Chain A
Amino acid sequence: MLKGLGNVVVKEVKELMRDPKILIGVILVPMLMFPLMGLAVRISMQTAAESIKAMSIGVIDQDGEEYAQNLTNIFSASNLTVVSLTATNIEQAAEGIQESNMTAVVVIPEGFSQNITDDKQATVHVYGVFRGTGIAETAGPSTVVFLISQFSEYLALGKVEGKRGILNPVLPLQESIVKGKVVSVSPSVLSSLVLSQYIGLPIGITMLIVFAMQIAATSVASEKEEKTLETILTMPVGRFTILLGKLAGSVIVAAVGAIAYVAGLNYYMGSFTFAFQAQPGIDLASIGLAPNLTAYLVLGTSLFVTLVSALALAIAVSSFAEDVRSAQTIVGYFYFLLFVPMIVLMYTDISILPLPLRLVLLAMPFTHPMLAARASFTGDYTTAVLGIVYVTAFTLAVLYIAAKIFTTEKILTMRLRLRRQKLKREE
């Protein structure tokens, strides 16, 4: 029944993969864009880290007593290059500093040590030096302030004879409850993880579907644009086979694009892990926040059926377009089906929405992989499986319509009609 399918699929893949627009836009860009962004993050983080290591600060010690000396020693002990400035005040020092590589200047005023001895609050002036060279500039003053606060805490502990309870009478110890189990991970750490899933996944899924639809739209429209459709429709091959071949070719190319996309994204996310040194000792799987095998299977299936439905939809609607550009425009009209669930699900949970809105969202096929992505973390597979069933039914309905268009003369007469109208106008 599907004789010739392999032939059509191979040709589709060749044509699509050799199309510079698709090769660049769908495969090379996501493959290179994310790693390049990651590389940029990595390089800037590395540079910042190195510049912190080699950071130099200036100190104007107007006090010259014991505690001022101790503070300067703490700076030196923390790998900061400390330059003792001979200027008597900051205004004098300011001009020369701009030419140096100092990122901060600390002025320890006279009476600093005496104030500490007398249990009065002592002050230190910290000046950040800005030359407009980038984000690393902020690291200097903040490192100095951090060291001063450490010094301050050390002094305070000495004064209260090590009784921390006096310094911090109440200390919150933060933990979380995940899926009914108490885990000793701070909520702030988990919330950043949840945020990355709630925002990152819908965006990722949306981008994947958008470019898959562009591929499928190109696949049919280019046959019209290049005037190859009429010939292939008269070949001894079923029209449904041609349709399936186009769909399969687009699925294959979209899958290659998806792999390129995921690989690029993975590298990109990895650069952040590198930068922030993700909190060690948190095993996401053991606290139930990493997807298990079932979750991956459900999510994978949901993504796959949604991808096929998106492609079928794109092929069906682009059949009416005259050329590639108009096909992509027509397909673009359907992006709201993607963006609405993406934005809504980014900010809220579907279960708390009013019923009519919930039904509208559930009717949109592209809502379901986003729900499946969430379900893979919450373990609520029923919703995900029902979603897969719904999207499959939607896909079959769209395929049926697409096949109808392909098996009738509509696919050609749309153009004919336009031409006739044009001719008539000319007359």
Chain B
Amino acid sequence: MVYAVEVEGLVKRFREILALDSLTFRVDEGKIYGLIGPNGAGKTTALRIISTLILPTAGSAAVFSRDVVREASEVRKLISYLPEEAGAYKNLSGYEYLQFMGKFNSDDKRNLKTMVEDAAAISGLGERLRDRVKTYSKGMKRRLLVARALMHKPKLAVLDEPTSGLDVLHSYHVRGIIKQYVEKHGVTVLLSSHNMLEVEYLCDQVALINKGKIVAEGAPAELKAKYKASNLEEVFAEVAGLA
């Protein structure tokens, strides 16, 4: 069986700091998989390795059976990565930014146009897309970036804290879009979050990470039942030994 993401014994060491300690998980195609855990747990490091940005110290990671180290350029054609602290080119307009990024995924002008139109709709920024990015609020910028990440319907969208810095309304909008893209276009999503409610709402499967290791994995409902918890926050506290 081909998994959208297959991570096996992943280790990442930054000098004396062990960021990932033999991480193993698999993501089925067309599902939303969430990595949850506190700051510094290793979520971003795992996503960066899967997105071909940094190299693992040991272990392997593959996207649709393409190795992220040996076949990095092939993996980049399949994925779309949204970093937690991403920005957009402030001197370009929203439209210009979407067009610039879109051109990497499509040579066909008509296809590009459709992509940008889709992105415009996802972002909900309307006429403001004609303005330069530097005039956008944090929420507007994040919506533009989420739209960019989903507009070409990647096989795998890697979203690091997709609603980071957004208020309730913007977060609600972004979550709706992610869910809709998975259902409508079969996009697989691997996301990280420390917002347990968001994860519970969005994810089919979750992995709870602490200190670079998975401490629990399963569907949110399963985990809650297993640990007799009313939400994932309680599950995390239980497995991390905080309860």
At the interface, yes or no: B33 with Cβ under 8 Å from chain A? no
Q: Kindly provide the distance from the CB of B62 to the nearest chain A CB, expressed in whole angstroms.
A: 16
A115 vs B224: C-alpha distance when bound (angstroms): 124
Q: Are B82 and A236 in contact (CB under 8 A)?
A: no
Q: Which residues of A contact B132 (CB under 8 A)?
A: 18
Q: Kindly provide the distance from the CB of A416 to the nearest chain B CB, expressed in whole angstroms.
A: 6
At the interface, yes or no: B128 with Cβ under 8 Å from chain A? no
Interface string of B34-71 (1 = CB under 8 A from A): 00000010000000100111110000000000000000
At the interface, yes or no: B86 with Cβ under 8 Å from chain A? yes
A228 vs B80: C-alpha distance when bound (angstroms): 14
- B-contacting 9-mer, from A7-15, A116-124, A163-171, A382-390: A7-15
Q: Kindly provide the distance from the CB of A61 to the nearest chain B CB, expressed in whole angstroms.
A: 73
Q: Which residues of B contact A227 (CB under 8 A)?
A: 83, 85-87
Q: Kindly provide the distance from the CB of B139 to the nearest chain A CB, expressed in whole angstroms.
A: 16
Q: Are B96 and A14 in contact (CB under 8 A)?
A: yes
Q: Are A237 and B85 in contact (CB under 8 A)?
A: no
Q: Are A231 and B83 in contact (CB under 8 A)?
A: yes
From B54, B77, B89, A11 is in contact (CB under 8 Å) with B89
Q: Are A237 and B104 in contact (CB under 8 A)?
A: yes
Q: Are A412 and B87 in contact (CB under 8 A)?
A: no
Q: Are B104 and A4 in contact (CB under 8 A)?
A: yes
Q: Are B104 and A230 in contact (CB under 8 A)?
A: no
A231 vs B79: C-alpha distance when bound (angstroms): 11
Q: Kindly provide the distance from the CB of B98 to the nearest chain A CB, expressed in whole angstroms.
A: 12
At the interface, yes or no: B168 with Cβ under 8 Å from chain A? no
Indicate whether A19 sits within 8 Å of B54 (C-beta atoms), given known contacts A234-B81, A416-B14. Answer: no
Docked complex: A370-427 residues within 8 A CB-CB of B: 408-409, 412-413, 416-417, 420, 423-424
A424 vs B101: C-alpha distance when bound (angstroms): 36
Q: Name which residue of chain B comes closest to A423, CB basis.
A: B40
From B48, B76, B79, B87, A228 is in contact (CB under 8 Å) with B87
At the interface, yes or no: B15 with Cβ under 8 Å from chain A? yes
Interface string of A222-241 (1 = CB under 8 A from B): 00001110110111111000
Tally of contact residues, A, Cβ under 8 A: 28
Q: Name which residue of chain B comes closest to A230, CB basis.
A: B83
Q: Name which residue of chain A comes closest to B80, CB basis.
A: A234
Docked complex: A330-388 residues within 8 A CB-CB of B: none
At the interface, yes or no: B17 with Cβ under 8 Å from chain A? yes
Q: Kindly provide the distance from the CB of A148 to the nearest chain B CB, expressed in whole angstroms.
A: 65
Q: Are B52 and A231 in contact (CB under 8 A)?
A: no
Q: Kindly provide the distance from the CB of A256 to the nearest chain B CB, expressed in whole angstroms.
A: 16
Q: Kindly provide the distance from the CB of B210 to the nearest chain A CB, expressed in whole angstroms.
A: 16
Docked complex: A6-37 residues within 8 A CB-CB of B: 7, 10-11, 14-15, 18-19
A236 vs B85: C-alpha distance when bound (angstroms): 20
At the interface, yes or no: B73 with Cβ under 8 Å from chain A? yes
Q: Which residues of A contact B81 (CB under 8 A)?
A: 230-231, 234
At the interface, yes or no: B103 with Cβ under 8 Å from chain A? yes
Indicate whether A412 sits within 8 Å of B54 (C-beta atoms), given known contacts A236-B73, A236-B105, A420-B14. Answer: yes
Q: Name which residue of chain A comes closest to B105, CB basis.
A: A236
Q: Are A15 and B104 in contact (CB under 8 A)?
A: no
Indicate whether A235 sits within 8 Å of B92 (C-beta atoms), given known contacts A226-B87, A227-B83. Answer: no
A180 vs B115: C-alpha distance when bound (angstroms): 70
Q: Are B55 and A228 in contact (CB under 8 A)?
A: no
Q: Are A409 and B103 in contact (CB under 8 A)?
A: no
Indicate whether A417 sits within 8 Å of B14 (C-beta atoms), given known contacts A231-B81, A236-B73, A236-B77. Answer: yes
Residues on B lying within 8 angstroms of A by beta carbon are 14-15, 17, 40, 48, 51-55, 73, 76-77, 79-83, 85-92, 96, 100-101, 103-105, 132, 145, 148
- Contacts A227-B86, A413-B14 supplied; 10 other A-B pairs, CB < 8 Å: A11-B89, A14-B92, A15-B91, A228-B86, A231-B145, A235-B76, A416-B54, A420-B17, A423-B40, A424-B17
Supply 15 A–B pairs (Cβ within 8 Å), ascending by A.
Answer: A14-B92, A15-B91, A18-B132, A226-B89, A227-B86, A230-B81, A231-B83, A233-B52, A234-B79, A234-B80, A235-B101, A236-B104, A416-B54, A417-B14, A420-B15
Residues on A lying within 8 angstroms of B by beta carbon are 4, 7, 10-11, 14-15, 18-19, 226-228, 230-231, 233-238, 408-409, 412-413, 416-417, 420, 423-424
9 residue pairs, one from A and one from B, having the closest CB atoms: A18-B91, A227-B87, A226-B87, A234-B81, A409-B54, A235-B104, A236-B76, A236-B77, A7-B103
